[in-house]
Structure 1
Amino acid sequence: MRELAGPGLDPGGWHRGLLVPAEHVAGALERVDRSQVGGQVLDCLGHRPPQRGGRHQSVGSSRGHVLHGGLGWAGVLDRKALVGYLLLVVTAIGWSGAWITARLAAHEAPELTVTVGRFALAGLALLPVWWATDRGRDGEMSREDWGLVAGMSLTGITTYTVLFLTGVGLAPATDGAVITPGFVGLSSVLVAWVFFREAPTRPGLAGAVIALLGALAVGWTGMRGAGFGSARATGDLVFVAAGAAYGTYTVLGERLSDSVPPVTAILLASTLGALGLAPIVLIVDGVPQVAAWSWKAWLNVLYLGLVATALSFVTYYAAVQRIGVERTAPALGLVPVFTVVGASVLLDDPLTWLHALGGLLVLAGIVLPAWARTAGSSEPGGDEIAASGEAAET
């Protein structure tokens, strides 16, 4: 699985809202108690992150456990697991709400200014969490780690959020909630494959393609209904770009070393994003006239910073600690479902049978790799595309 935090993670969706890759959380949990982690560590697209030196890593055994086990009734009925699933539902609601508040406040405040406000608030809110959980645990960050965090900040923090906010100003949130996560999967597969020679498993690639079909179904709805030159069609294309930005972000975050704890990573990425974008805001938008903002604009900034980013990250990380990374992927597929229903009811955004079909396809694309992994379908070396698998090993 990949992200902890978005389209923004945040964007409610695949990893939408996930601001720190879940694969990175898995590494942190391994350090806490390596004996409690069972099965191959894979992300929700089926990637096997290489060890230092280029070899793939297998952790523990394949036996189920409350952290990384199967989906049997024993784990589901466990009180600790139940709390974990409830936390995931809270997280999914938090991320799906980001699409609704952003759509509600479209054009109420400049997108760049809202982005800075969002991550400045998130950084302040996460600082006490970092102080309580990660202070003293984070090792010395390498130059590569700093470069990766900077890249995460550029792609998944600033670029994604600006595109996300721009998109909801042009097209319905029901479009973006399906299109963006639908393109996150394929873009992350391609970035990992082309730039890092990291081949996906067959279930991972199949899941990405299925999710892409769901995104295309919704995109076709907008193109057909409003026309190719309409604002809605432009917004849908912006949602595609947002998915590509977030997919790149997840690949970069996946490669952070284990010496960088998750809270530290998201705190640094948020802070760098806010500080780096602030001078651009002053040049493009001038000094923000926050006193003149409407209640909708304030609601959006506060919700995005405190709920969709800071609170949802904390609840997601707490859920991962209770039920493990592998079990979170199917639950995160609820984000686009919650968003589509919520935007349709609260904002009167269009909801067609193609939106329903697209959302189900995206959900299936997220669940398939996780199910195949849990069922033991993704054996090391067995499901990779041969040529790429060889390349990844060299």
Structure 2
Amino acid sequence: MKRIWDRLSVDIALLTVACVWGSSYLAAKELTAVTSVPTILAWRFLIASVCLGILWLWRVRRIPGRAEMWTGILLGLTQSAVLFLETFGVAHTQASNAGLIISLTVIFTPLLDALATRRWLPPSFFVAAVISVVGVALLVTVDGFRSPSIGDFLMLGAAAVRAVHVTLLGALTANKPYSSITVTLIQALVCTLLAILLDPLGVLSSAAAFSPTAWLNIVYLGLACSVFAFLVQLWAVRRTSASRASLLMGTEPIWAVAAGIWLAGDTFGWIGALGAALIVAACFAGQRIEARARAARNNAADSLVPAAILASHVGKA
């Protein structure tokens, strides 16, 4: 019974993170109506930086080395690029569209990794990728075909840059004795500094101009979507399989659509609804195909080790 409850609590935690991230597009969209994108990000990550700083003092209290510092700075720059594209994009498209298009990161990241490592994915993965692209083309319709908005293009760019960020995250931190809290804190500080430099007057004037609703959205983005989501994700992924975590986290676009429809009144024509379904289905399928291909490669590599040892003994005999 305890094992079932432990697994259920992890699943609920990961679904909560996906739900929080899915709803972040609506909160960001509401804020773009009252202030600039740099101001939103400056306050969001200032709040996140303070909370992560307190956590760093409590749990880490170790000055990062040069390599760890530069890793955090580089990841902070790529994370900033993702967030600026996302927030500018959500200002010019529906929150539900934004959440769906950004989910294409699930398709872009394995493609980028395959190009970097020259380990090609099965043909079925590329079928899923094509279906996801068709889904985006259908999504950017209302009751008929129309040209995509600038927001749709910005969200597509954000998905591509996020794939680069995720790839760098793995490449730069794998097998390194870096503190996750320290690296994340440095990223948040870089995002804060860049946002303030882009609109210092806006950041200062907004402190008194924000309504209680705006402050609530800012605090939600800073605490729930940044600090809470990171900590819960870190706790949960250490207690379940990577494939299960990815599957649960992959429900983010579903929550984005739900928030957009129920809270913001977003609408889809039947063609757009078909596109949304194709995106979600293709991303799930692509994720599962990539996970199976990676597991097969790992099993093949493990099977080669005993064979090599046996061959070496035969040669000596």
Q: Give 1:111's match in structure 2, choosing from 37, 47, 51.
A: 37
Q: Distance in 2 between matches of 1:353 and 1:254?
A: 34
Aligned to 1:44: none
1:198 lines up with 2:126 in the alignment? no
Q: Trace 1:82-121 onto structure 2 (pairs within 5 A).
A: 82-121=8-47
1:92-122 CA distances to partner (integer Å, 9 max, x unpaired)? 1111110121223332110011111111111
| CA drift at 1:357 | 2.4
Bigger RCO (CA 8 Å, 6+ sep): 2
1:29-65 CA distances to partner (integer Å, 9 max, x unpaired)? xxxxxxxxxxxxxxxxxxxxxxxxxxxxxxxxxxxxx
CA contact (8 A) 1:327 1:370 kept: no
1:236 lines up with 2:155 in the alignment? no
Aligned to 2:255: 338
**How many residues matched?**
295
TM-score normalised by length of structure 2? 0.81
Give the residue type in structure 1 aligned to 2:257: V
| CA drift at 1:269 | 0.6
Q: Distance in 2 between matches of 1:131 and 1:317?
A: 18
| CA drift at 1:297 | 2.6
1:301-324 CA distances to partner (integer Å, 9 max, x unpaired)? 111111011001111111012214
Counterpart of 1:323 in 2: which secondary structure? coil
Q: Give 2:55's match in structure 1, choosing from 102, 108, 129.
A: 129
Q: Distance in 1 between matches of 2:217 and 2:43?
A: 10
Q: Trace 1:264-275 onto structure 2 (pairs within 5 A).
A: 264-275=182-193
CA contact (8 A) 2:69 2:186 kept: no
| CA drift at 1:201 | 5.2
Q: Distance in 2 between matches of 1:115 and 1:209?
A: 36
In 2 relative to 1, CA 171–212 (structure 1 residues): closer, same or farther, beyond 3 Å? farther
1:360 lines up with 2:281 in the alignment? yes
Structure with greater helix percent: 2
In 2 relative to 1, CA 215–171 (structure 1 residues): closer, same or farther, beyond 3 Å? farther
Q: Trace 1:1-394 onto structure 2 (pairs within 5 A).
A: 77-136=3-62, 141-143=65-67, 145-156=68-79, 158-182=80-104, 184-189=105-110, 191-192=112-113, 197-200=116-119, 202=121, 207=125, 210-211=128-129, 213-222=131-140, 225=144, 227-228=146-147, 233-257=149-173, 258-282=176-200, 285=202, 287-351=204-268, 352-371=273-292, 373=294, 376=296, 379-380=299-300
| CA drift at 1:191 | 4.4
Give the residue type in structure 1 aligned to 2:16: V
| CA drift at 1:190 | 5.1
CA contact (8 A) 1:149 1:253 kept: no
| CA drift at 1:147 | 3.2
Q: Distance in 2 between matches of 1:317 and 1:364?
A: 24
Q: Which moved more, 1:260-269 or 1:127-136?
A: 127-136
In 2 relative to 1, CA 162–301 (structure 1 residues): closer, same or farther, beyond 3 Å? same
Q: Distance in 2 between matches of 1:207 and 1:103?
A: 33
CA contact (8 A) 1:175 1:219 kept: no
In 2 relative to 1, CA 201–266 (structure 1 residues): closer, same or farther, beyond 3 Å? farther
Counterpart of 1:161 in 2: which secondary structure? helix
- Root-mean-square deviation over aligned CA pairs: 2.9
Larger Rg belongs to: 2
Gaps of at least 5 residues in structure 1 are 1-73, 383-394
CA contact (8 A) 2:106 2:283 kept: no
CA contact (8 A) 2:101 2:155 kept: yes
Percentage identity across paired residues of the two chains = 21
